[in-house]
Amino acid sequence: DVQLQASGGGLVQAGGSLRLVCVASGFYFEDYVIGWFRQAPGKERERVSCIGGGNHNTYYADAVKGRFTIFRDKGKNTGYLQMNSLKPEDAAVYYCAAGGVRSSMFPQNERWYGFWGQGTQVTVSS
DSSP for 1-19, written as a single string: --EEEEE--EEEETT--EE
- pLDDT values of the chain reduced to their tens digit, one per residue, 126 residues: 889 999 999 999 999 999 999 999 998 999 999 999 999 999 999 999 999 998 889 999 999 999 999 999 989 999 999 999 999 999 999 999 999 888 888 999 999 999 999 999 999 999
**101 within 8 A of 32, measured Cβ to Cβ:** yes
